[in-house]
Amino acid sequence: MFKKKILSTLLAVGLSASFLVGCTSGGDKGTTSDSDKVNVKLLVTGALGDKGFNDSANAGIKKIEEQFGDKVEVEVVEMGFDQTKFEPSLVDASESDADVIVTGGWDMKEHVENTAETYQDKKYIVYDTDVNYDEYDLQNVYSMTYKQNEAGFLAGVLATLVTTSDMELANEEKVIGFVGARDTSAVINDSLVGYIEGAKFIDKDVKVEVAYIGSFTDTAKAKEITLAQYSNGADVVFTAAGPASAGSVEAAKDAKKYVIGVDSDQAIAYEGKEEQKYIISSALKNIDKSLVDTMDALLNDKLEFNTHSVLGIKEDTVGLAENDIYTSTVSEAIRTKVSEVAKELKEGKIEVSTALGMDEAKLKEIIQSAK
């Protein structure tokens, strides 16, 4: 295993250069023989239209096409929700004329590990999950994850400032909510830990209602849980549940309470609809920006494969959405305070705990203490 790691590292040094040569020569299996353009294929789990995770990745591919259209050609594949089809779809993409295969999420981790070793002439860019470089020969894989705990921290700061304010829909109770997808998801719990710490950073007496849907797609359950939290006194709910988050947004509209979206600026997805005015911000995981930056590095022979990056507020990859709803609904005093905290976070003056690798008992203790 140690020897394999050394070999992978040595091979990675010359990987980007050999990749670009291969893409233009047309001599290797799977490269584009009739074009000098790099063929990029995005594989999304589930489908587009989730107003979050997948749409952010798709937005990144669109920006790549706009920015590097003279150098790349792109294709997007929606793999659907049947997880048994994820690895076959990845193999199909690896057998195709794609030069670079982009995919992401925890449920693609093992599939990438199993497939990338076999197709060493392909390059893989993986977002929102890591891969095991020690156990597998992944010299052709670059992976990146995000500090969603930092975005969650800012969401907690905002929610607590709102619930303790005199904003129109804020009540007198110091109660905010969190609706997560699955309690077994480390990424979701990472957002939660940050959210709780951000809330307590502003007011140690604020209470955080925590509930899980048990799914990333059950919008009806998300709505039901969110409405329950509003009934229990929460006037702001942070929803971190992927596509299911749409149910929380519906609940906010029905209850006429505030909601904080996740992954992408969810207010944009509801433009012209009543729901939009209740989405005061979103905890951003700028997958789109990270994909554009990664492709820029690849095309300029600066992307180091066989490595993993963790991107946070310092890299301008996570944060809060500051759109027209945010600036018109949230008071200037609150926005100023959020900006001050974000600056401290970026400067490293504030450290946020992470649920990644956290003991389950410790996580439960944090959740219990927030009630």
Query: 152 and 140 in one domain?
Result: no
> Where do we find the tokens 């507020």?
313
The answer to whether position 323 is within a domain reads: no
Residues 171 and 241 in one domain: yes
**Quick one: 157 and 265 in the same domain?**
yes
Neighbours of 26 (CB within 10 A): 12
Number of domains in the chain: 2
Instruction: Tell whether 167 and 125 lie within a shared domain.
Output: no
Strand arrangement of the beta sheet that strand 279-285 belongs to:
207-212, 175-180, 236-240, 258-263, 279-285, 318-320
Average pLDDT over residues 325-348: 97
Residue 50's pLDDT is: 75
Alpha helices in the chain (DSSP H): 2-13, 15-25, 53-68, 86-95, 109-116, 148-163, 186-202, 219-231, 245-255, 266-269, 287-299, 324-329, 332-346, 360-369
Cα separation of 264 and 266, whole Å?
6
- Tell me the C-alpha distance between 206 and 202, whole Å: 9
In this structure, is residue 23 part of a structural domain?
A: yes
Report which of 178, 176, 175, 242 is spatially closest to residue 210, judged by C-alpha positions: 178
Asked if the structure places residue 158 within a domain, the reply is: yes
| In a shared domain, residues 185 and 229 | yes
In a domain, 273, yes or no: yes
Q: What is the CATH number of the domain that holds 27?
A: 3.40.50.2300
Q: Looking at the structure, do residues 49 and 113 belong to the same domain, yes or no?
A: yes
pLDDT at residue 342 above 70? yes
Lowest-pLDDT choice from 2-6, 196-200, 309-313? 2-6
In a domain, 250, yes or no: yes
Neighbouring residues of 281: CB distance < 8 A, sequence distance ≥ 6: 155, 158, 260, 261, 267, 320, 321, 322, 323, 325, 326, 330
Residue 228 sits in the same domain as residue 345: yes
Q: Does a structural domain hold residue 91?
A: yes
Contact 54, 283 (CB under 8 A): no
Between 49 and 313, the more confident residue is 313
Same domain, 79 and 142: yes
CA atoms of 271 and 273, how far apart (whole Å):
6
Q: CA 1 from chain center: how many Å?
A: 31
Residues 74 and 183 grouped into a single domain = no
**pLDDT digit string, tens, across residues 15-58:** 444 444 444 333 333 333 446 899 999 999 989 887 777 888 99
Which residues are bridge partners to 142 per DSSP?
125, 307
- 3-state helix, strand, coil split of the chain in percent (to 5) is 50, 20, 35
User: Residues 281, 322: contact at Cβ < 8 Å?
Assistant: yes
Q: What are phi and psi of 125, to 5 degrees?
A: -115, 120
Do 118 and 19 share a domain, yes or no?
Answer: yes
Do residues 227 and 346 share a domain?
yes
Domain that holds residue 28: 2-146+288-314
Q: Do 354 and 209 fall within a single domain?
A: yes
Residue type, 46: G
Tokens of 106: 């925890």
pLDDT given for residue 106 in this prediction: 87
**Total-model pTM:** 0.85
Determine, yes or no, domain membership for 324: no
Residue 363 lies in a domain: yes
pLDDT of residue 206: 98
At a CB cut-off of 8 Å and minimum separation 6, what does 145 contact? 127, 128, 129, 130, 308, 309, 310, 311
